[in-house]
């Protein structure tokens, strides 16, 4: 098919000026797509994917482009679908604390809209200004507030997807409690677009708390971290985030509530830490100071290098970090860590020779039995994701996952190679 | 059922754990939804996960359908046996396997009762959050199958939010581990799909659950109103003020009277009562509780009782949790419906239910998880009067239509089971259902695992065109999967 006629064909499904030949800015993992399409409606997307199915084209999806270097290395791509044209807040049912938003809407724009009613979608993953709902759902990415409010898979209540064969299907609904049928919303969450292209998502929302404050705990060393996190978790405090940073070894404990509860709980953190370890320093940050603290924390994800998500049992995360520090030091790899201390889901940043990193990640994985921990490469250069499986051992559920992928996308055309199956 | 097959099953579980006698079998004919019954071909009570696996393997080899059953408290016929199949009763797998307080985890067999989980960790300041009304008699395996909620799910979520890992026997007899003690297992979210799949994808043999720490403060009030509208306005006022209570429950006059007759919770006479519970940090609970009281008074509460002791709180909850069973005191029979609406549509839908009550001549009591819009209308009838049972069923079905009209769901917690499979096309398109059945086909292409439930018509799974395509990394020989 001549290239220009390809664009015309695509435009017949998505409308004029909504498709272009793949150019330099459209490459994913170094691969140049033949054509890029930007459908403006679910119907246009349906028509496009039905056509792509008939033409047996491989398809990849792009939102804000913040995570194109996540997941497996893309195997092939003829058509890139941009969700930029599907970016509206379809409904904000503030009385019901739910909202339906299109996949291409950025998290920041959604939360700006919901903020008018003092509600929010309680996600705070990195790059909120550019990261889209579709991408956040596809990667089940989350931020510090996951501790209290959950990950995307915990607040998703409905989804509309277009399948590889171009058929549109929905699951769940707009009500917060619903057990009718299989939970395809959760299945799509974290699937890296391997089972369908998400059109819109319905979420349960959270009211914006009237006050917030953060206790910053500066630890003498990382070894002091585990007992303090254990104390925080077993206390009756209700923080919305317990984040670690290292180095320097610090904990950020955020409270969101009425003013009196924020103040009293932040003070309680200071007492709890003092009782455990007098060498730690606790300061309470409010207002501008507090937002600066969290902006700096989010900035840690912007530092260059590989990001590996390490997940362990609660009492295993600090020993894992200490092991990693030694291992990195021996091999001349720079390392830092940040993430959910109390959930034991931490992002490790590595910077060093590719093969050394690959070896480190393999050794790290060998420390975990399947189910008791994992080390998943999130962001990395293609060379690293090529030399070591980004997901690591999945366990004996893999065969079922492969069977699901086969049923939804028998020809393996959707985000080939990108997802876990 | 072939005698060789029965003998093989007996060999696996032991002859004393096989039920074939018609009288003994009667107990297993239905679950909590007694109107749907069927005599199973065979009942087995395995004692270990390995025995479950062997029974399932025998079924797979022989093409025999099987249904897993816990305590049989389900209300949608999800555990109704298959007449030509094996009913696998899981009650002997009732051991708590591991308690890990530092990591806030507990691992149990599926036959363990919901309440036993909390009891096992209570002395250590922890509890298990999902608390369905039947929690003293329902098992964790059933909770996993149904994705059970309970009164406190408004704030704490459902079973799916508290299951971290599962061991399950697939319909082909293969045993898999999904998730475990750590969060975020790599791969597709099989936990998310298995929880709530109503026993149609696998038989769960082990469950790892998340435990929570007991809150510092709990405050509960009971507010009485002159109308359900006022009570509904109070709920809107509370949520509108940005407060997410641990629970908000509503009962109307019919159910208040029934509860009063059965368990004497000493509720004030009213058209509607609300039970509102807040929990969390001391300062937060006390500030917000004042606000809740003010909202209730502002919308016209005629009486507010604040629980001053745990015993008083327990009394409020006893009244609420006894509501279903208590209907037996005021009506010879009743039909329990389970539907969901967006919470703000409560006045509209209640109005339609009331009109339906007048029109049908059948009394309808209402119990709601008001915070999350989950309605439980109780349609009263007398099965000695010819035609009333059928009328009650049609009234209950119409209420579901009201729910769907406002964008709701045909079930919030009781499940689809056998009861509502034919309602699914009212909520989902053919493609929606087909997509769900793609998952079914991936797990159970032979349709042996709890067949006839959830979906009105089974999808022909067929063979998947083409071989499995390996991950490019695998193809490149750079990694292999195991």
CATH number of the domain where residue B139 is located: 3.30.465.10
Domain match, B111 and B168 both: yes
**Of A207, A238, A265, which marks where a domain is finished?**
A207
Give the tens place of pLDDT for each residue, A321-336: 999 999 999 999 999 9
* Cβ contacts of A309 on chain B, cutoff 8 Å: 184
What's this model's pTM, rounded to 2 decimal places?
0.95
CA B208 from chain centre, in angstroms, equals 18
Averaged pLDDT for residues B238-251: 93
- The answer to whether position B428 is within a domain reads no
**Of B39, B68, B89, which marks where a domain is finished?**
B89
Calculate how close chain B gets to A290, using CA atoms only, in Å.
20
**Residue of chain B with shortest Cα separation from A175:** B342
User: Is residue B474 predicted with pLDDT exceeding 80?
Assistant: no
User: Is residue B481 predicted with pLDDT exceeding 60?
Assistant: no
Calculate how close chain B gets to A125, using CA atoms only, in Å.
15
**Domain containing B299 — which CATH number?**
3.40.462.10
CA distances from B467 to A394, A409, B464 (A): 21, 12, 8
Q: Kindly report the average pLDDT of chain B as a whole number.
A: 93
CB spacing of B280 vs A118 below 8 angstroms: no
Which residues are CB-neighbours of A5 under 8 A, at least 6 positions away? none
Domain count, chain B: 3
* Cβ contacts of A175 on chain B, cutoff 8 Å: 340-342, 372-373, 407-409, 412
- Residue B130 in contact with residue B144, Cβ under 8 Å? no
Averaged pLDDT for residues B382-411: 96
Question: Which residue range is the domain that position A114 belongs to?
Answer: 89-207
Domain count, chain A: 4
CA distance B257 to B327: 9
Confidence (pLDDT) at B470? 47
**Of A267, A299, A331, which marks where a domain is finished?**
A299
Interface test with A, best of B409, B465, B467 (most A CBs within 10 A): B409
**Residue of chain A with shortest Cα separation from B190:** A187
Report how many Cβ contacts below 8 Å link chain A to chain B: 320
Averaged pLDDT for residues B36-58: 97
Question: Which residue range is the domain that position B29 belongs to?
Answer: 3-89
CB spacing of A313 vs B240 below 8 angstroms: no
**Of B386, B405, B424, which marks where a domain is finished?**
B405
- The answer to whether position B452 is within a domain reads no
Report the candidate in A351, A350, A420, A355 with the shortest Cα–Cα distance to residue A389: A420
- The answer to whether position A172 is within a domain reads yes
Confidence band of B464 (pLDDT split at 50, 70, 90) = low
- Residue B341 in contact with residue B403, Cβ under 8 Å? yes
CB spacing of A371 vs B165 below 8 angstroms: yes
CB spacing of A386 vs B407 below 8 angstroms: no
User: Is residue B14 predicted with pLDDT exceeding 70?
Assistant: yes
The answer for B 422-461 residues in CB contact with A (under 8 A) is 424, 427-429, 431-436, 438-443, 454
Averaged pLDDT for residues B313-338: 90
**Of A248, A275, A299, which marks where a domain is finished?**
A299
Outline where DSSP puts E strands in A320-420.
Answer: 334-340, 345-351, 373-379
User: Is residue B479 predicted with pLDDT exceeding 80?
Assistant: no
If 0-12 CB within 10 Å is exposed, 13-18 middle and 19+ buried, where does residue B48 land?
A: middle
Pairing of strands B86-89, B42-44: parallel
Give the tens place of pLDDT for each residue, B270-291: 999 999 999 998 989 999 999 9
**Domain containing B48 — which CATH number?**
3.30.43.10
Confidence band of B240 (pLDDT split at 50, 70, 90) = confident
CB spacing of A177 vs B369 below 8 angstroms: yes
Confidence (pLDDT) at A64? 96
CA distance B268 to A252: 47
Domain match, A98 and A186 both: yes
Task: Chunk chain A into consecutive blocks of 10 residues (it has 421) and report each block's average pLDDT, rounded to whole numbers.
Answer: 82 96 94 97 98 98 96 96 98 96 98 97 96 98 97 98 98 96 98 98 97 97 94 94 97 96 96 95 98 97 97 92 95 97 98 97 95 96 96 95 98 96 93
User: Is residue B326 predicted with pLDDT exceeding 90?
Assistant: no
Domain match, B204 and B279 both: no
- The answer to whether position B131 is within a domain reads yes
Confidence (pLDDT) at B133? 85
User: Is residue B475 predicted with pLDDT exceeding 60?
Assistant: no
* Cβ contacts of B409 on chain A, cutoff 8 Å: 173, 175, 177-180
Domain match, A153 and A186 both: yes
3-class SS letters over chain B: CCHHHHHHHHHHHCHHHEECCHHHHHHHCCCCCCCCCCCCCEEECCCCHHHHHHHHHHHHHHCCCEEEECCCCCCCCCCCCCCCCEEEECCCCCCEEEEECCCCEEEECCCCEHHHHHHHHHHHCEECCCCCCCCCCCEHHHHHHHCCCCCCHHHHCCHHHCEEEEEEECCCCCEEEEECCCCCCCCCCHHHHHCCCCCCCCEEEEEEEECEECCCEEEEEEEEECCHHHHHHHHHHHHHCCCCCCEEEEEEHHHHHHHHHHHCCCCCCCCEEEEEEEEECHHHHHHHHHHHHHHHHHCCCCEEEECCCHHHHHHHHHHHHCHHHHHHHHCCEEEECCEECCHHHHHHHHHHHHHHHHHHCCCEEEEEEHHHCEEEEEEEECCCCCCHHHHHHHHHHHHHHHHHHCCCECCCCCCCCCCCHHHHHHHCCHHHHHHHHHHHHHHCCCCCECCCCCCCCCCCCCCCCCCCCCCHHHHCCCCCCC
Which residues are CB-neighbours of B1 under 8 A, at least 6 positions away? B41, B42, B64, B84
- The answer to whether position B101 is within a domain reads yes
CB spacing of B372 vs A208 below 8 angstroms: no
Confidence (pLDDT) at B1? 83
Domain match, A194 and A166 both: yes
**Of B358, B374, B405, which marks where a domain is finished?**
B405
Confidence (pLDDT) at B480? 47
Query: Is the peptide bond prior to A94 cis by the omega test (within 30 degrees of 0)?
Result: no
The single residue listed with the structure tokens 């019901």 is: A96
Task: Pick A400's closest partner by Cβ from B190, B216, B409.
Answer: B190
Pairing of strands A79-82, A59-62: parallel
CA B192 from chain centre, in angstroms, equals 15
The answer for B 73-132 residues in CB contact with A (under 8 A) is 100, 102-105, 125
Domain match, A182 and A225 both: no
Q: Which residue has the higher pLDDT, B459 or B332?
A: B332
Query: Is the peptide bond prior to A342 cis by the omega test (within 30 degrees of 0)?
Result: no
Domain match, B199 and B228 both: no
Element (H, E) at A51: helix A42-54
CB spacing of B471 vs A72 below 8 angstroms: yes
Domain match, A42 and A118 both: no
């Amino acid at each position: 098919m001549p290239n220009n006629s390809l664009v015309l064909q695509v435009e017949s499904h998505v409308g004029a000026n909504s498709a272009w030949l793949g150019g330099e800015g459209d490459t994913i993992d170094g691969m140049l797509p033949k054509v890029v399409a930007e459908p403006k409606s679910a119907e246009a997307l349906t028509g496009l994917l039905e056509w792509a199915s008939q033409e047996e084209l491989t398809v990849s999806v792009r939102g804000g482009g913040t995570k194109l270097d996540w997941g497996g290395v893309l195997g092939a791509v003829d058509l890139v679908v941009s969700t930029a044209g599907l970016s509206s807040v379809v409904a904000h049912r503030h009385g019901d604390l739910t909202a339906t938003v299109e996949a291409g809407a950025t998290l920041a724009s959604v939360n700006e809209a919901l903020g008018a009613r003092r509600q929010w979608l309680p996600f705070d993953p990195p790059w909120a200004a550019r990261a889209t709902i579709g991408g956040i759902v596809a990667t089940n990415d989350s931020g510090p507030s996951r501790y209290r409010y959950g990950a995307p898979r915990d607040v998703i209540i409905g989804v509309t997807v277009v399948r590889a064969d171009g058929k549109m299907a929905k699951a769940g609904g707009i009500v917060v409690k619903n057990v009718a049928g299989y939970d395809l919303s959760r299945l799509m969450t974290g699937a890296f677009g391997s089972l369908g292209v998400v059109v819109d998502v319905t979420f349960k929302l959270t009211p914006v708390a009237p006050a917030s404050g953060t206790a910053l705990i500066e630890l003498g060393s990382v070894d002091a971290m585990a007992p303090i996190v254990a104390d925080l978790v077993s206390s009756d405090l209700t923080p919305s985030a317990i984040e670690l940073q290292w180095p320097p070894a610090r904990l950020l404990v955020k409270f969101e509530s009425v003013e009196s509860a924020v103040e009293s709980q932040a003070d309680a953190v200071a007492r709890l830490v003092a009782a455990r370890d007098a060498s730690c320093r606790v300061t309470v940050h409010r207002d501008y100071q507090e937002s600066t603290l969290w902006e700096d924390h989010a900035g840690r994800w912007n530092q260059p290098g590989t990001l590996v998500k390490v997940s362990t049992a609660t009492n295993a995360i600090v020993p894992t970090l200490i092991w990693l520090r030694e291992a990195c030091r021996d091999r001349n790899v720079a390392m830092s860590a940040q993430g959910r201390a109390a959930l034991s889901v931490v992002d490790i940043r590595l910077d060093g020779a590719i093969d050394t990193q690959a070896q480190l990640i393999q050794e790290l994985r060998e420390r975990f039995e399947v189910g008791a921990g994992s080390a998943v490469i999130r962001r990395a250069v293609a060379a690293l994701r090529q030399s070591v499986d980004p997901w690591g051992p999945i366990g004996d559920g893999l065969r079922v996952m492969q069977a699901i992928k086969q049923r939804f996308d028998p020809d393996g055309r959707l985000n080939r190679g990108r997802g876990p199956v | 059922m072939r005698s060789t097959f029965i003998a093989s099953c007996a060999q696996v579980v032991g002859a004393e754990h096989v039920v074939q006698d018609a009288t003994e079998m009667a107990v297993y004919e239905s679950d909590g939804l007694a109107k749907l019954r069927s005599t199973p071909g065979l009942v087995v009570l395995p004692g270990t996960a390995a025995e479950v696996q062997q029974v399932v393997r025998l079924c797979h080899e022989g093409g025999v359908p099987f249904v897993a059953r816990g305590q049989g408290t389900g209300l949608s016929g999800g555990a109704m046996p298959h007449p030509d199949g094996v009913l696998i009763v899981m009650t002997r797998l009732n051991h708590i396997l591991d308690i890990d307080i530092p990591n806030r985890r507990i691992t149990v067999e599926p036959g363990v009762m919901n309440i036993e989980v909390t009891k096992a960790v209570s002395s250590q300041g922890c509890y298990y959050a999902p608390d369905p009304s039947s929690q003293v008699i329902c098992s964790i395996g059933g909770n996993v199958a149904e994705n059970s909620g309970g009164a406190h799910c408004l704030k704490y979520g459902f079973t799916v939010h508290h299951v971290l890992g599962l061991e399950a026997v697939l319909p082909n007899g293969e045993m898999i581990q999904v998730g475990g003690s750590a969060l975020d297992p790599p791969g597709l979210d099989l936990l998310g799909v298995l929880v709530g799949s109503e026993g149609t994808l696998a038989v769960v043999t082990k469950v790892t659950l998340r435990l929570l720490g007991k809150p510092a403060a709990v405050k509960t009030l009971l507010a009485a109103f002159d109308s359900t509208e006022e009570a509904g306005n109070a709920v809107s006022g509370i949520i509108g003020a940005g407060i997410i209570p641990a629970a908000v429950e509503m009962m109307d006059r019919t159910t208040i009277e029934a509860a009063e007759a059965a368990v004497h919770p000493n509720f004030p006479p009213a058209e509607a009562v609300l039970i509102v519970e807040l929990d969390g940090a001391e300062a937060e609970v006390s500030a917000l509780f004042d606000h809740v009281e003010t909202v209730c008074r502002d919308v016209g509460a005629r009486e507010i009782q604040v629980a001053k002791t745990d015993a008083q709180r327990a009394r409020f909850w006893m009244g609420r949790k006894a509501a279903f069973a208590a209907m037996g005191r005021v009506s010879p029979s009743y039909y329990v419906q389970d539907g969901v609406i967006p919470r703000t549509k409560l006045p509209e839908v209640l109005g339609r239910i009331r009109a339906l009550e007048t029109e049908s001549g059948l009394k309808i009591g209402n119990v709601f998880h008001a915070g999350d819009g989950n309605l439980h209308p109780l349609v009263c009838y007398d099965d000695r009067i010819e035609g009333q049972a059928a009328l009650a069923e049609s009234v209950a079905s119409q209420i579901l239509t009201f729910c769907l009209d406002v964008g709701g769901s045909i079930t919030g917690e009781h499940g689809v089971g056998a009861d509502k499979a034919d309602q699914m096309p009212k909520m989902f398109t053919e493609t929606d259902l087909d997509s769900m059945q793609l998952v079914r086909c991936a797990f159970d292409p032979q349709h042996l695992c709890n067949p006839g439930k959830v979906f009105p018509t089974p999808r022909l799974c067929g063979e998947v065109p083409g071989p499995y395509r390996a991950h490019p990394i695998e193809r490149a020989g750079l990694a292999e999967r195991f």
